[in-house]
């Protein structure tokens, strides 16, 4: 009897690491592919009277999604690959998505989960559960109700049947609510690919939450000033530096004229109010602001705060 085939331990095979499947390289590409799948199925759904789920399986095969399970065979990497891919399908079934999108994402999740390669030789990793936040699970149970419109009604019985099969097989592993961040990893993508020539701080997606540090504030201020100078001096048929300024001055003059006709309006009172608030803010922060001095000068000159607007 011949032994079962097994990978050679002496050969250094190159395998995809698990963090590849949680990185932006895989996650963003898969999200785009799922959007394309939804679009293709929507086009086919509008042009044929074939049974919805049968039609979806046809589109699935035509686009080559049936080969997705052969992407990776290493146990550690395959575990992450299956979990992340199922999560990407599941995220399109949330309540904020369009009803048609939710139904197609459910079809995709069902086929992907139940077409896993089972009991191969050598053994191949598969998943038996899909983690899902509790609030997402509740919205999933009521998803068929949003398919009651005439255009989507053919999808409703299929969605009901697929959900009942998933619930009966206890596929979903229910986690705490999504706002508690119980998913692992908490957000996808977890690792962001940065092309050569760009620093970590230059990637917009990498901005940290909260107040930016002083160095970043200075950098942002310099960039804003350079962009403003470039905009003012920009040549061209629109004459951005001159024509836009003239429009602004005309709008300002119109506003001042309208305010001057209002007997309840006082530019001096408004300036005094702004000055008091700036002084209160300066006392609470313990810093001297240039804007405070400018408002004081405007109040002393009798021209008011609108004089500061060019």
pLDDT tens readout for residues 76-124? 899 999 999 999 999 999 998 999 999 999 999 999 999 998 877 777 8
Task: Report the run of H or E that residue 174 belongs to, with start and end.
Answer: strand 172-175
141 in the Ramachandran plot: left (φ > 0), alpha (ψ -120 to 50) or beta?
Answer: alpha
Phi, psi for 24 (deg, rounded to 5): -65, -25
pLDDT over threshold 70, residue 149: yes
* pLDDT tens per residue, range 10-35: 455 677 888 999 999 999 999 999 99
User: Out of 27-41, 151-165, 237-251, which region has the weakest mean confidence (pLDDT)?
Assistant: 237-251
The Cα–Cα gap between 298 and 271 comes to 8
- Closest C-alpha to 62, from 54, 70, 72, 51: 54
pLDDT for res 159: 95
The mean of the pLDDT values for the chain is 80
Average pLDDT of span 58-69: 94
How many C-beta atoms surround the C-beta of residue 129 within 10 A?
A: 14
* pLDDT tens per residue, range 180-223: 989 999 999 999 887 765 544 444 445 556 666 766 777 777 77
Tokens of 219: 């950098």
pLDDT for res 199: 47
Q: Judge whether 159 and 143 are in contact, CB under 8 Å.
A: yes
pLDDT band at 74 (very low <50, low <70, confident <90, very high): confident
pLDDT over threshold 80, residue 265: no
The Cα–Cα gap between 53 and 103 comes to 10
Quote the pTM value: 0.60
pLDDT over threshold 80, residue 240: no
Can you give the length of the chain in residues?
310
């Amino acid at each position: 009897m011949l032994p079962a085939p097994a990978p050679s331990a002496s050969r250094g095979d190159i395998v995809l690491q698990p963090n590849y499947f949680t990185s932006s390289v895989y996650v963003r590409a898969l999200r785009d592919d799922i959007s394309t799948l939804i679009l293709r199925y929507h086009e086919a759904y509008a042009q044929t009277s074939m049974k919805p789920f049968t039609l979806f399986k046809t589109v699935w095969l035509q686009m080559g999604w049936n080969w997705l399970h052969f992407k990776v065979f290493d146990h550690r990497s395959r575990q992450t690959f299956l979990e992340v891919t199922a999560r990407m399908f599941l995220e399109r079934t949330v309540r904020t998505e369009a009803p048609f999108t939710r139904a197609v994402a459910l079809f995709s999740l069902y086929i992907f989960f139940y077409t896993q390669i089972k009991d191969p030789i050598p053994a191949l990793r598969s998943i038996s559960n899909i983690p899902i936040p509790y609030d997402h699970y509740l919205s999933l149970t009521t998803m068929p109700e949003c398919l009651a419109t005439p255009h989507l009604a053919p999808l409703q019985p299929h969605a009901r049947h697929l959900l009942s099969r998933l619930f009966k097989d206890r596929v979903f592993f229910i986690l705490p609510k999504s706002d508690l961040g119980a998913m692992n990893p908490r957000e996808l993508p977890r690792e962001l690919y940065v092309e050569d020539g760009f620093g970590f701080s230059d990637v917009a997606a990498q901005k940290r939450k909260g107040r930016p540090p002083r160095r970043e504030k200075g950098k942002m201020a310099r960039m804003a000033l350079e962009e403003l100078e470039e905009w003012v001096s920009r040549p061209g048929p629109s004459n951005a530096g001159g024509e836009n300024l003239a429009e602004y001055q005309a709008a300002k003059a119109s506003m001042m004229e309208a305010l001057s006709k209002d007997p309840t309006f006082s530019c001096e009172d408004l300036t005094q109010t702004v000055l008091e608030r700036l002084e209160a803010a300066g006392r609470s922060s313990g810093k001297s602001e240039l804007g405070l001095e400018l408002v004081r000068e405007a109040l002393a000159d009798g021209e008011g705060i609108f004089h500061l607007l060019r």
